[in-house]
Amino acid sequence: MNRRRFTQQLAAAVAAMSLGRTTRGEATFLASAPGVDGERINRQLLELAHFGKNPYGGVSRVAYSEFDRQGREWAMNVMREAGLAVSIDAAGNIFGRRPGSVATLNPLVFGSHIDSVPDGGNYDGDVGSLSAIEVARTLASNNLVTRHPLEVVIFQNEEGGTTGSRAMAAGLTPAELERVAQSGMSIRDGIRFLGGDPDRLDSARRAPGDIAGYLELHIEQGGVLDDTTTPIGVVLGIVGIRHWDITITGFANHAGTTPMDRRKDALLTAARCIEAANRIVRSVPGRQVGTVGKLAVEPGAYNVIPGLVTFGLELRDLDDAKILRLYQRILAECRRIAALNGTALTSTETLAIAPALTDPGIRGVIAGAAQELGLRTIRLPSGAGHDAQEMARLGPVGMIFVPSVGGISHSPREYSRPGDIENGANVLLRTLLRLDATL
């Protein structure tokens, strides 16, 4: 075969392949793409809100509480109605399974959580969990069988430290199992309370590569989408978080008799450091955030110059190297300020959570699905933690955000509009189908 003929044949083969993909992935699918029943999702959100309903209009459904258990029972029934085979793994996570047509493929996993913070709202976690079930129900009622097996998941104790997803993706240490959760129950007892088995946690573990992918729809919990009236957020990743305790040592002395130029005022140093931290974090472009939200002053009296101050610095960004660069600049500036005030400074890192990036390919699929539905998107980081950050250890993950009105979350005033929720669920459905065809 001459080279020219070979090239022509190759081009024809590629065209046929892409035509095949288009037929399966776009043309046919688009023409017959089903939509979710948004009214049902929103009705179910109100039903779920009964479990742990508080007088302020939200819920207190903390993990391992009786309300949590009741809410989960209710959710498992909704899963069964959607045609899913329901089970609880040893870590207490709920799975609703639907077989795929290709037995050798790993599952596509999608879902969220339904536990809340104390005095929380009715949308955080619930929107993603109920939309995932609705997506499975839509596939069932349209007789659509995916290639991959599907697993709708409701993770346990997301708000108390992504316990369930961590048990699945990384494992829990013995110390973590003994930690007392918000409900007053230890994690170990809580897992048992929910129907798991803390002595068999290994059986809930998955290894990297065990899942084809993970998708999570969630409310933004911030105000970017609402401020810009953008219906769909394509999440770039979950930011990394680092914490430091910075301790300033001065000299506690009489506030009445020590002249102003003879003082070693630890709090004055801290105050100037806090101002510097804010200025440095804002001095570079990007969406990084930095906060000092914790301050301990000793001895803590009107008439004593503060001798010892510890403040807690937190930095968050999608880029861990950027976090560390900002920290080094803040530390250098604080050392300079401390020396000027005759005080000494030490810093100890107390927390380091690595950023978890979403899969670039899945981001593109989410954006494409939104576009097909005529929905504008923006790409943004998640400043809050999610189960998706744990699942990123196991395979490619994608996250879809819908607007939180006023950017309010972890509050009874948390609210997402019914239409936005329906849009998010439809984007989830289309993303899932597209990934099923291409992964």
Positions that interact with Zn ion (CB under 5 A): 124-125
Closest CA to 136 of 436, 336, 385: 436
Cα–Cα distances in angstroms (integers) from residue 235 to residues 84, 121, 134, 433, 437, in the given order: 28, 22, 22, 19, 22
**Distance between CA atoms of 122 and 344, rounded to whole angstroms?**
47
User: Strand order in 344-353's β-sheet?
Assistant: 289-298, 308-317, 240-249, 344-353
Contacts of 45 (CB under 8 A, 6+ apart): 122, 123, 126, 127, 130, 421
Contacts of 361 (CB under 8 A, 6+ apart): 396
Residue nearest to Zn ion (CB): 125
Beta carbon of residue 240, minimum distance to Zn ion (angstroms, whole number): 18
Question: Which residues partner with 108 through β-bridges?
Answer: 150, 213
What are the φ/ψ torsions at residue 133 (nearest 5 degrees)? -65, -40
Beta carbon of residue 146, minimum distance to Zn ion (angstroms, whole number): 26
Beta carbon of residue 113, minimum distance to Zn ion (angstroms, whole number): 6
Beta carbon of residue 239, minimum distance to Zn ion (angstroms, whole number): 15
CB closer to Zn ion, 234 vs 337: 234
- Reduce the DSSP state of residue 314 to 3 states and report it: strand
Q: How far is CA 196 from the centre of its chain?
A: 23
Going by DSSP bridges, is the β-strand pair 108-113/344-353 parallel, antiparallel, or unpaired? unpaired
CB closer to Zn ion, 158 vs 436: 158
Beta carbon of residue 391, minimum distance to Zn ion (angstroms, whole number): 13
Beta carbon of residue 404, minimum distance to Zn ion (angstroms, whole number): 11
CB closer to Zn ion, 92 vs 125: 125
CB closer to Zn ion, 111 vs 240: 111
CB closer to Zn ion, 38 vs 128: 128
Contact 106, 148 (CB under 8 A): yes
Q: How far is CA 228 from the centre of its chain?
A: 21
Q: How far is CA 95 from the centre of its chain?
A: 19
Beta carbon of residue 128, minimum distance to Zn ion (angstroms, whole number): 7
Size of the chain, expressed as the number of residues it contains: 439
Beta carbon of residue 273, minimum distance to Zn ion (angstroms, whole number): 33
**Distance between CA atoms of 203 and 210, rounded to whole angstroms?**
13
CB closer to Zn ion, 24 vs 410: 410
CB closer to Zn ion, 125 vs 196: 125
Beta carbon of residue 75, minimum distance to Zn ion (angstroms, whole number): 15
CB closer to Zn ion, 75 vs 305: 75
**Distance between CA atoms of 410 and 218, rounded to whole angstroms?**
13
CB closer to Zn ion, 409 vs 423: 409
Q: How far is CA 258 from the centre of its chain?
A: 51
